Amino acid sequence: MASAPAAPPSPAPVPAPRSSRGRSTLYRGTEGMWSWVLHRITGVGLFLFLLVHVLDTAMVRVSPEVYNDVIGTYKTPIMGVMEAGLVAAVIFHAFNGIRIILVDFLAKGPRYQRVMFWVVIGLTVVLMAGFLPRHLGNVFGGGH
Amino acid sequence: MTKLDATDLPAPRARRTTALRGGANTELIAWLFMRISGVILLVLVFGHLFVNLMVGDGVHAIDFAFVGGKWSEPFWQVWDLLMLWLAMIHGTNGVRTIINDYAERTGTRLVLKSLLYLAFVVTVVMGTLVIFTFDPCPPGSPADLLPSFCAA
């Protein structure tokens, strides 16, 4: 009749799933992924600010007093710091967009995408180094 | 049963004569638009930031008289109008892409995109009207709040 049930298979060593940490894929956790993540986050942030910015500028149609009151909130220290973040987001998004175009259209673009990400970061830092002293001087210093 | 002849099949790499949906390939147009408008926006937005935040007293100099001075010149009207339209289309298409990526239910996508397109229409119409119906010298306003040319 039926033979004795086969012994349960001995726990064969199952290979551990690939760790999500570490460089287990070409993409995850590397420059390409962070470029994509930052592009999305800065993009959504800039779009939301754009809606607010068109609305606050529309106050020029109400009266000079109302517009000056609203734009006055942009000159406070807290808003001044947020503007610096906004400008940094604009610069990163702009240069990273150029990087995306080069990756798409240049034959050697994909090969240099990682280097180009660091060029984008470098350009952002350099332009911010030029902008920050001027802007923070206007916000915190005299300039009134 | 009809016998399927090998010649009935399109050649493997044959160019598809019609797009998947719709006539024109709208996703290709959207993809191309993001790249072209992105380059133009880089120039427009960097120029906008430089003139408004770097020159002179930067953010401290921005008030009604400053805006009135800029929009009395057709150059800045066209600059800001182009920036408004391109940035709104570019941003709306970007957010549309993100909604398509993350909103998995059809109803959720429909609601989010309806809100998005509503915000697009309201913002673009309002912004365009503001640029072209703006009066730099509204009657009855204190002269010290207005551009200097209003006194003349």
- The pLDDT value recorded for residue B129 is 96
Are A48 and B120 within 8 A, CB to CB? no
In contact, A124 and A92? CB cutoff 8 Å: yes
A141 touches chain B (CB under 8 A): no
* Domain residue extents for chain A: 31-140
Q: CATH fold of A31-140, please?
A: 3 helical TM bundles of succinate and fumarate reductases (1.20.1300)
CA terminus-to-terminus distance, chain A: 100
Quick check: B119 contacting A, CB < 8 Å?
Answer: yes
Pick the closest to residue B64 from A61, A135, A31, A133 (CA basis): A61
Question: pLDDT, tens digit, for every residue of A71-87?
Answer: 999 999 999 999 999 99
Q: Which range has the worst mean pLDDT, A38-42, A83-87, B7-11? A: B7-11
SS percent in chain A: helix, strand, coil, step 5: 70, 0, 30
Higher pLDDT, B119 or A142: B119
Please check whether residue B125 touches A, CB under 8 A: no
**Separation of alpha carbons A119 and A95, rounded Å:** 9
Give ipTM to 2 decimals: 0.83
Report CB contact under 8 Å: A58, B98: no
Task: Let me know: does A27 contact A110? Beta carbons within 8 Å.
Answer: no
Residues of A in contact with B133 (CB under 8 A): 61
Task: Tally A–B CB contacts below 8 A.
Answer: 112
Res A29: pLDDT: 84
Q: A140 falls in which pLDDT band (50, 70, 90)?
A: confident
Question: B28-85, pLDDT tens digit by residue?
Answer: 999 999 999 999 999 999 999 999 998 888 888 899 999 999 999 999 999 999 999 9
Q: Is A45 left (phi over 0), alpha (psi -120 to 50) or beta?
A: alpha
A112 part of contact set with chain B, CB < 8 Å: no
Name all domains of chain B by residue range, CATH numbers in brackets: 24-150 (1.20.1300.10)
* Residue contact A138–B39, C-beta within 8 A: no
Please indicate if any CB of chain B lies within 8 Å of the CB of A76: no
The pLDDT of residue A69 is 95
Per-residue pLDDT reduced to its tens digit, A41-76: 999 999 999 999 999 999 999 999 999 999 999 999
